[in-house]
Amino acid sequence: MIETTTSRDTSVGIVEKKYFTFADAPDKLLLESGARLGPVTIAFETYGRLNAQQDNCILLTHAFSGDAHAAGYHASDSADDKPGWWDFLVGPGKGIDTDRYFVVCSNILGSCMGSTGPSSLNPETLTPYGLDFPMMTIGDMVVAQKALIDHLGISRLLAVIGGSVGGMQVLQWCVRFPEMVRAAVPVATTMRHSALAIAFNEIARQSIMADPNWKKGNYYGGPKPDMGLAVARMVGHVTYLSDQAMRRKFGRRLQDKANFSFGFDGDFQVESYLHHQGSKFVNRFDANSVLYITKASDYFDVVEQICTPGLIKGTEASKIKYLVVSYSSDWLYPTYQAKELVQSLKRCGQNVSFCEIEADCGHDAFLIPDQRFTRLIGGFLDGIS
């Protein structure tokens, strides 16, 4: 059963974005590239309450263009206020039950949704970093998240849960800080990008860099590379859908016309939809952040490291309970990649469950309300809490 709506009546209510700043000079954050970055600000939200034992914390990790707003609403009187991106999953009595769990979601390093990224001011120049922002990795994002978790006084996470690039962060947590993770739920993700995924990311990056307004990343304060960014989003959005979903939503139906224009106007509904998605994205996201985050996801590779924690520690305490979730119509991170992850984890003795959910929505299915997914997550958490 697939739900299509969310309700304020069942949400966590009004939530507030918070900020944590660390890594002030001279103790700047050391990145995998060898560069140092500081100060670093991480935007985050929390839902529910931390219990006295401080053992009920769940960390949510978002997808590439997501943010810290995973659940609830930011305003009570705004018609435009939208619920968090996993509002159907996170809240009182839901799969991630905020009556039982303390839930944290932070915006990733390199983003433009409150955390330090290329659009942030460089303290040395007092102008936006642009391409002076150092290249970062999924591992660097996780190190920044750990600094936040340490700041909140949490020594061990009940679970880390996330989809897509968020799923990469889940796996990186298990590799970097296995002693802090009791359970992990990587959803619609991979241990490393395929050539196909890297290719689509490169097309997106080249579309941005080919825009004359990009100016090698120094467009702040002037015209932005809106056309390049919109095209990049169109390319990305196609990979998030599936053939079945696009046939169901659009087919070959025309947009507001009875016949072809015999020109280059958007004749088809699918063309109009992609133009709309590109325009929306331009209004909320930074082009340079797209460059950095897609590159970080291309660099990501834990194929050799995924079993290292268990092999080195060699104890039951080091084992993490995994739930790996894939979707049948996801061709960006197809099920065979999830099965490769499951096989790798089983080979080194980890406790792994796997579920492929039948859905024709493509890669974005994990963001669409679905009672099957909600029950799956809730049941898994019941088994570890």
Average pLDDT over residues 30-55: 97
> pTM of the predicted model, to two decimals?
0.95
| Residue 298: exposure state from Cβ atoms within 10 A (0-12, 13-18, ≥19) | middle
pLDDT of 1 above 50 = no
Residue 215 one-letter amino acid = K
Domain-wise residue ranges, the chain = 8-192+301-382, 194-299
164 included as an active-site residue: yes
The pair of three-digit structure tokens given for residue 28, joined into one six-digit string = 């700047």
**pLDDT tens digits for 110-152?**
999 999 999 999 999 999 999 999 999 999 999 999 999 999 9
Average pLDDT along the chain: 93
User: In the CATH hierarchy, which fold is given to the domain comprising 194-299?
Assistant: Rna Polymerase Sigma Factor; Chain: A (1.10.1740)
CATH class of 8-192+301-382: alpha beta
**Other beta carbons within 10 Å of 27:** 11
Residue 190 one-letter amino acid = T
What whole-number distance in Å separates Cα of residue 268 and Cα of residue 323? 40
Using pLDDT thresholds of 50, 70 and 90, give the confidence band for residue 206.
very high
pLDDT of 314 above 90 = no
Q: Which of 119, 164, 207, 326 is catalytic?
A: 164
Q: Which of 67, 97, 330, 364 is catalytic?
A: 330
**pLDDT tens digits for 284-298?**
999 999 999 999 999
74 included as an active-site residue: no
363 included as an active-site residue: yes
pLDDT of 347 above 70 = yes
pLDDT at 80: 61
Query: Which stretches does DSSP call E strand in 164-305?
Result: 183-187
Cα 341 to Cα 54, 74, 158, 165, 185, distances in angstroms:
30, 37, 21, 15, 12
In this structure, are residues 142 and 148 in contact, taking their beta carbons and an 8 Å threshold? Answer: no
